[in-house]
Amino acid sequence: MNLKKSFSAMMAATGLTVTMAAQADDIGNSFNRQGLSDRLHASCAVQEAQRERLVRKLPAGTDPAPAFRNKGITFVIESPHFDQNMKADADVLFAKIPEHTKSLAFNEGGVFVWSRYGLAESLPSRKNNINGYIIPGLYLPDQKRLYLTFMLAGLDRKFYAEPARRTRIANHEAGHMMDDMLGNYSHYKGRQQADGRLTDRRDYKDALNRDTKRMRQQNTDVTAFSYYAAGSIGGDHNDQQRLRREVFAELWAESSGYGGSGLSKHYPDTYSLVKGFYDHLADTYKASDPRCVYKKDGSAVPVATSKHVLDL
Ligand SMILES: [Zn+2]
């Protein structure tokens, strides 16, 4: 690389850094910084109390199945049919959900539910529906619960495990959860009321529309990612809200380091914003101690204490 080239490369890189910093600032200012920081940096005991207040007490009914009802503040509920390998896999999977995602989920009363024999095992209302056996995961906002199954059924009605996509799917569903929960702290354009969902923000809608328009102009073949594309350009979704949420969840998974579908290539503007939300949560979480280890039983243990225990 000659001097002139390296100089312009340096300038380009600097320009990019400045733009990114400005965007990070803009995004940070569109959130209730103090509220989010207060939550994530409260003592572990206070975080537990907050969780206890916000975990949904689900009325007895068809869903969820008795084995999947909440026991107090339980954070992770596993199928009683898990064998030892699945229990170990479940722990590995839980470790692959970023700490800041877990921290907000914990504080907002979120619950992770792992079933073995399809979602119908934990949600019996789906037992008579093929969807109860072929859909790998979902997030139910009214319950604040993320459901994921370790096995799916084939057309032969036999169950098979599909570990390859599991981490990505867990982080995709966690994306739906964060769209909902981080939205509680989003006050886009300084509004008094929280936005509800990040995917309802004007800047998010605009970014997604820009990317869709670009794909239309470039005649992009969306066959390989039709689940994440608008009906107007040959994708699956005519419902704009559904499209916004699915694209967000997948780009969140990609921000978490589990891309798979490489969707950011097609949604560069949308990805930049989702990554901005992701980084804002991560930066807030990391900004100060004390931090807690969030246990499956719903307890939060100060990091120092758990390290000490491990040292013994
Ligand atoms: Zn989804």
* 171 C-alpha to ligand 1 centroid (Å): 10
Backbone angles phi, psi at 137, to 5 degrees: -165, 160
90 in a structural domain: yes
* 295 C-alpha to ligand 1 centroid (Å): 25
User: For the stretch 40-71, what's the b/e string if a residue is b when 16 or more beta carbons lie within 10 angstroms of its beta carbon?
Assistant: bbbebeebbebbeeebeebeeeebbbeebebe
Res 14: pLDDT: 54
Average pLDDT, the chain: 90
User: CA torsion 188→190→196→197, rounded to 10°?
Assistant: 10
* 19 C-alpha to ligand 1 centroid (Å): 30
Q: Are 150 and 86 in contact (CB under 8 A)?
A: yes
* 131 C-alpha to ligand 1 centroid (Å): 14
Res 2: pLDDT: 45
For the ranges 18-22, 76-80, 159-163, 183-187, the maximum mean pLDDT occurs at 76-80
> Tell me: the pLDDT tens digits for 31-65?
999 999 999 999 999 999 999 999 998 888 889 99
Res 7: pLDDT: 46
Return the CA Rg of the chain. Answer: 21
Q: Which tokens go with 49?
A: 């109390």
Residues in the chain: 312
* 7 C-alpha to ligand 1 centroid (Å): 44
Q: Are 103 and 136 in contact (CB under 8 A)?
A: no
> Tell me: the pLDDT tens digits for 248-260?
999 999 999 997 7
The pTM of this model reads: 0.90
47 in a structural domain: yes
176 in a structural domain: yes
245 in a structural domain: no
Indicate if the pLDDT at residue 3 is higher than 50. no
Q: Return the percentage of the chain with pLDDT > 90, whole number.
A: 75
Indicate if the pLDDT at residue 302 is higher than 80. yes
> Tell me: the pLDDT tens digits for 169-225?
999 999 999 999 999 999 887 777 777 899 999 999 999 999 999 999 999 999 999
* 30 C-alpha to ligand 1 centroid (Å): 25
* 160 C-alpha to ligand 1 centroid (Å): 21
260 in a structural domain: no
Indicate if the pLDDT at residue 311 is higher than 70. no
Res 98: pLDDT: 96
109 in a structural domain: yes
Res 60: pLDDT: 82
Cα-Cα end-to-end distance for the chain: 54
Q: How many domains does the chain have?
A: 1
Give a three-class secondary structure readout of 55-111: CCCCCCCCCCCHHHCCCCCCCEEECCCCCHHHHHHHHHHHHCCCHHHHHHHHHCCCE
* 3 C-alpha to ligand 1 centroid (Å): 48
Q: 139: domain range?
A: 35-183+291-306
Whether cis (ω within 30° of 0) applies to the bond prior to 64 is: yes
Please indicate whether residue 305 or residue 125 has the higher confidence score (pLDDT): 125
1 in a structural domain: no
* 173 C-alpha to ligand 1 centroid (Å): 6
* 180 C-alpha to ligand 1 centroid (Å): 13
Secondary structure letter of residue 143 according to DSSP: T
Please indicate whether residue 300 or residue 15 has the higher confidence score (pLDDT): 300
Please indicate whether residue 88 or residue 28 has the higher confidence score (pLDDT): 88
pLDDT bucket at 261, cuts 50 / 70 / 90 = confident
274 in a structural domain: no
* 201 C-alpha to ligand 1 centroid (Å): 18
